[in-house]
Structure 1
Amino acid sequence: MTRISDEALLERSQHGEYAASAELIVRYTPVVLYYAERYCYLGLEKEDLMQEGMIALLSAIRTYRGDRGAAFRTYASRCISNGLAKVAASQLRARNIPLALTAPLDEAGNVSAPSQDEPEEIVIRQEQSRDRSHRMKAELSEYELACLQLLLDGCSYAQIAGRLGRTVKSVDRALGRARQKLRRALAEPV
């Protein structure tokens, strides 16, 4: 049995053939998994990242144009990577909202009265956040930290390279080193 090319599947998919879309999704699920796992070290849920990555893949299938010169694999990988970077940045920004501005919900989803130990929890979370921040600064070089911050702000590798006056390959290596260092640092007990 011969394998149908991605481009042939894309054409069928863009003309409404659901089986072609399903085949592309099956083929590119490992790519989504690869990029989703790259953000798990930040404490984000793998399942949530997979869903967001699949949404980015579906968008890539819908919007791909072969006349622009890029192979679909390249285009899909970039869409998935950028989509997950934006989600990660958004999630991490949301985590920085002061807890004093949030209201606890009861099991029914209604705003509940704050518990008496809430101030303690706030202090503990703030201390944990400060500790993680100090560990990151201690583990990462200035360049790695700058690359990571720009990535979390939603910049692509090319944008980071442009802002820092480096090559995309240099940015990729710096972020790879940062990931390894953070995995080790966050896995170690305080």
Structure 2
Amino acid sequence: MALEKVMDLAEARSARRFKSNQVPPELDALSDEALVAAAQAGDAEALSCMFARYRDFICSKARMYFLAGANFEDLVQEAMIGFYESIRDYRPGRLPFRSFARLCITRQIIEAVKVFSSRKHAPLNDALSLDAPLCHDPEDERTLMDVVYDTRMPTPEDAVLIHDPRAAAWTDVADLCVWLEQSMDGMLTELERRVLKLFVEGYSYIEIAQQLGRTKKSVDNALQRIKRKLLACLYDEPSAGGRHAAVQGG
């Protein structure tokens, strides 16, 4: 049975579980990749469980954006479409499902923003990342101040998707890593490079800190420096100190 048909069969069940986050223990014990494979094979139960498992993640991604004329439910719907597409299109072995889902959800929201804005001819035609606290997701500890140091500008992730047409064709973290290496050559310290690699692979702040033997605060500070440098790179700002402004240490 095609996954599209399974989506129709699972819609009501997914909606209930999406709200209650109820997942049968035997399915909850399976990995994301195992549940995705089952959903792709036509298992409506696995599909609804994936939506329940990622409920907070989906809502947190929608909460990160503001668009004039749209409400939170509209953004959640777009995020759910992106998440569904990530289940449909995921291929194992190249990157963790969570990283792929993040790319698909963000891409779907940005595309919806662009369509909505062009239709309305609104003066605010970019999604402004608010990056509200992701308090419901234990693996994602970013807060408003983690990302939005200048509310006039989108986050690096959004800026890449909006301003680089190649980003629309990215399907895995390898594409993102290649782009970052090419765009930020010489700008990052060794610590920043290692933190960035783990971050785009989907590791949480705590997991990155554990792998690198650093504190969570050190990881957070490194990511803030990376974001500032990436924004400076995207917008050709001199504030980052030039393409070769990396300072050893961190």
**TM-score if structure 2 supplies the norm length?**
0.43
Task: Say if 2:58 is the partner of 1:32.
Answer: yes
The higher radius of gyration belongs to 1
The question of whether the paired residues in 2 share the 8 Å contact of 1:86 and 1:153 is answered with no
The CA deviation string for residues 126-174 of structure 1, in whole angstroms up to 9 with x for no partner, is xxx5xx79xx9xxx699x4796776545754959x77x94478436974
Q: Distance in 1 between matches of 2:229 and 2:111?
A: 17
Cα offset, 1:72, TM superposition: 0.6
Correspondence for 2:102: 77
RMSD over aligned CA atoms reads 4.1
Quote the Cα distance in structure 1 between the aligned partners of 2:47 and 2:100: 16
Aligned-pair CA distance for 1:95: 2.1
2-structure distance, mates of 1:7, 1:20: 11
Alignment: residue pair count: 134
Matching of residue 95 in structure 1 with residue 152 in structure 2: no
Matches within 5 A, 1:139-150: 144=153
1:44 aligns with 2:44: no
Alignment of 1:107-122 (within 5 A): none
1:39, CA displacement in angstroms?
1.4
Give 1:7's aligned residue.
33
Query: Residues 4 and 77 (structure 1 numbering): CA distance in 2 closer, same or farther, change over 3 Å?
Result: same
* Alignment partners' CA distance in 1, 2:62 and 2:229: 16
Give the SS at the match of 1:66. coil
Deviation, 1:15, is: 1.1
Q: Does 1:170 align with 2:224?
A: no
After the TM superposition, which of the residue ranges 31-40 and 76-85 deviates more from structure 2? 31-40
Please say if residues 60 and 76 of structure 1, whose CA atoms lie closer than 8 Å, have aligned partners that are also in contact.
Answer: yes
Quick one: structure 1 residues 81 and 28, their matched pair in 2 at CA, closer, same or farther if it must change by over 3 Å? same
Letter in 2 for 1:170: K
1:57 to partner: Cα distance: 0.8
CA separation of 1:53 and 1:71: change in aligned 2, threshold 3 A: same
Tell me if structure 2 keeps the 8 A contact 1:88–1:152. no
2:107–2:161 contact (8 Å) kept in structure 1: no
Question: Structure 1 residue 20 and structure 2 residue 54: aligned?
Answer: no
- Where do 5+ consecutive residues of structure 2 fail to align? 1-24, 129-149, 169-175, 188-195, 197-225, 233-250
Q: Deviations over 1:74-93 (max 9, x none)?
A: 11111001111111122122
Does the CA-based 8 Å contact 2:155-2:227 persist in structure 1? no
Structure 1's 43 and 150: CA in aligned 2 closer, same or farther, altered over 3 A? farther
Q: Which has the higher contact order (CA 8 A, sep 6+)?
A: 1
